Structure 1
Amino acid sequence: MSKDPLSNKQSSPRIAVAGAGAIGCTLAAILAHAGQAVSLLARGSTLQAIQSQGIELRRQAETYQVPVTVSDDAHTLGSQDIVFLCAKSHDLVGLAQAATPLIGPETLIVPMVNGVPWWYFERLPGQDGRRVKSVDPEGRLRALLPSAQVVGVVQFMTAERVGPGSVVSNTPALLILGEIDHTESQRVQDIVDVLNASGIESRHSAQIRDPLWMKIIANLTTNPLSVITGATLNTMYGDPRLLPITRKILFEGLTLAAAHGARIPLDPDTIIKETIAMGAVRTSMLQDYEHGNPLELAAIGDAVLELADAIHLPMPTARDVIAMAHYRGTSQRR
């Protein structure tokens, strides 16, 4: 597939957001409020709520009621120029199947997922055929979503669903996008331009796995521990009883990232200070635990340990905390 710029096709790209959870609704509402042509793939009570009243987004002291085109049938929405896939990693296969009619041969696929993505080894020299088994054990995502059409994205966006079609997102959002073969392209820059014009700070990276590792480490140090403790971001990095645990996981994650060739631009103390400054934010995994939903531990925890095991790197603190989070998640559903 070519990397033609979107601007060569039409000035206003057709954008679909597949998945109407906290992140999907937040993204769709911001884009639609900015005047972008956005369609949303949703279902159930969320579909009904958005059909009747649009998306309610509370963002930084303002509330928006944003109408969007919404459907539970991707065929009615048709092929799109850009498709954002917004789902937990364990729900991504089902969402990708439902979103197939949105994806034509030139559609750009932007998966807004946490943790280690299924595409991690895709389009890297010498890694042909290697996959992250924790997140794509049977290779179904690789088969459903052509890697030549996938644009990597690292999302620093927090949001919470407070009701069907109703979300709160009070922290500044940042999206970093890049080709997964570590080249620069106009098509990625076009997506970045659309997002920035819509009020979502976005950047173009020619080394997308560098910021990806920053996000992997952020998730690793906070999400599993939040399930065990119920703590918010500022507490996990600021409480003197929890900080030693968080710091150990942080150093384990930084060591693994370096072993995989990633360049992390921040030192540990800066990471700690910046996380504390985010305030009393509840992780997405803690929100899922409190609502009795499955936990996203395969991508955020197990896949990281898989990458560590592949190079015989011990991660004892992370491994113990992930195991305890698994226990909490499964015992809750018994």
Structure 2
Amino acid sequence: MRILMVGAGAVGGYFGGRLLEKGEDVTFFVRPRREQQLREGGLVIRSIHGNFQTPVCTLTPGGEAEAFDLAVLAVKAYHLDRILEDVRPYIGSETMVLPLLNGLTHLDKLDEAFSPDQVLGGLCFIETTLTAQGEIEQYSDRHDLMFGERDGSVSDRIRRLEKTLNGARMNAVRSDNILMEMWKKYLFISTFSGITSLMNSAIGPILETEYGSGITRRLLDEIAACARHREPSLNDTLVDGVFKVVSSLAPQMKSSMLRDIEKGSPVEADHLHGELLRMAGDREDLPLLRTVYTFLKTYEANRLKETKAAL
């Protein structure tokens, strides 16, 4: 299977690297600056699951290549619109499109850009970051990639994809209810990224404070209330399970959003927390979620001012 890994950052670089390590045919779709980094030093993974370094095959926008069998979208949501136009020439009518973005609203864009039948459901759980030197650092036990047909079927192509992903040094899991898994991830990542970014802390110190656990649960409940306007089946048992996952995280874990803030990088405020607020409109009391969103939008505004001042 010819695989186009769209993005060679913390997520795409990690999972694409693990597939290369297994021996799969992987090409990384990247910008020229990242291509230069990869040419000079190769793809470098430093992980508790084992280090790996290798030269890679890259493709930049406008480059010549035939359509791929699988395109894995591993980019931030704020890059998606531009990426869709650039990657279109390499997506054929039979290409599977596997998005690993947070949230769910990107599915509408992908369905519009390609045939809805091509677009799978997917998500990942991994704590990883890209260093200034272009190396990928991966910190925690979880390095999970979940995928499936959105209608829950076990198709021939999903079996082929499962065979391709299995055996790589990662936890690849096929789900027969991938949309519900994506909703659970949405609740989790919005809560985890929101509380750690707002408090500027790894999760452990937050939960250890007198009110930290209760505030985190309140944020999750507000997020779930918003999400139910789009998916009413998100019941209390499911939300309890999400909170259990948040509460059991390693104390030192930080969200990728907090790591982006620490580096002065863009964040997915509108794609995650902003979209939840749009789902609810004015129909819910959401003081914590609105506080998180306001904090993130203030960060974005200050970052923009600093960027303009530096020019």
TM-score bracket, shorter-length normalisation: 0.7 to 0.9
Q: Give the equivalent residue in structure 2 for 1:294.
A: 266
Q: Give the equivalent residue in structure 2 for 1:315.
A: 286
Q: What letter is aligned with 1:206?
A: D
Aligned residues: 302
**Hey, which of these two has a bigger chunk of helix by percent?**
2
Between the aligned partners of 2:6 and 2:243, the Cα distance in structure 1 is 32
Contact 2:187 2:242 in 1 (8 A): no
Between the aligned partners of 1:222 and 1:198, the Cα distance in structure 2 is 27
The change in CA–CA distance for 1:34 and 1:73 in structure 2 (over 3 A counts) is: same
Q: CA deviation at 1:255?
A: 4.0
The percent identity for this pair of structures is 23
1:63 to 45, 48, 51: 51
1:49 to 31, 37, 41: 37
Contact 1:116 1:304 in 2 (8 A): no
Between the aligned partners of 2:175 and 2:264, the Cα distance in structure 1 is 36
2:97 to 92, 109, 115: 109
Root mean square deviation of aligned Cα? 2.4
1:188 to 158, 168, 176: 158
Contact 1:90 1:296 in 2 (8 A): yes
Q: CA deviation at 1:267?
A: 5.9
Listed as ranges, the matches of 1:17-56 within 5 Å are: 17-56=5-44
Between the aligned partners of 2:52 and 2:264, the Cα distance in structure 1 is 28
Listed as ranges, the matches of 1:262-273 within 5 Å are: 262=234, 268=240, 271-272=243-244
Q: CA deviation at 1:194?
A: 1.7
Q: Give the equivalent residue in structure 1 for 2:309.
A: none
Between the aligned partners of 1:205 and 1:269, the Cα distance in structure 2 is 17
Contact 1:235 1:276 in 2 (8 A): no
Q: What letter is aligned with 1:104?
A: G
2:185 to 215, 224, 227: 215
The change in CA–CA distance for 1:109 and 1:48 in structure 2 (over 3 A counts) is: same
Unmatched tracts of structure 2, length 5 or more: 306-311
The alignment's TM-score, normalised by the length of structure 1, stands at 0.82
Contact 2:224 2:239 in 1 (8 A): no
Unmatched tracts of structure 1, length 5 or more: 1-12, 120-130, 132-138
Query: Is the counterpart of residue 162 in structure 1 residue 131 in structure 2?
Result: yes
Comparing 224-233 and 21-30, the one that deviates more: 224-233
Q: CA deviation at 1:275?
A: 4.2
Q: Give the equivalent residue in structure 2 for 1:79.
A: 67
Between the aligned partners of 2:50 and 2:289, the Cα distance in structure 1 is 38
User: Secondary structure, in 3 states, of the residue corresponding to 1:277?
Assistant: coil
Between the aligned partners of 2:195 and 2:207, the Cα distance in structure 1 is 11
The alignment's TM-score, normalised by the length of structure 2, stands at 0.87
Contact 1:15 1:83 in 2 (8 A): yes
Between the aligned partners of 2:86 and 2:99, the Cα distance in structure 1 is 14
Query: Is the counterpart of residue 202 in structure 1 residue 190 in structure 2?
Result: no
Contact 1:308 1:315 in 2 (8 A): no
Q: C-alpha offsets along residues 122-163 of structure 1, whole Å, 9 cap, x if unaligned?
A: xxxxxxxxx6xxxxxxx6x54323321101102112210013
Query: Is the counterpart of residue 281 in structure 1 residue 253 in structure 2?
Result: yes
Comparing 175-184 and 100-109, the one that deviates more: 175-184
1:151 to 120, 124, 142: 120
Between the aligned partners of 1:263 and 1:246, the Cα distance in structure 2 is 18
Q: What letter is aligned with 1:160?
A: T
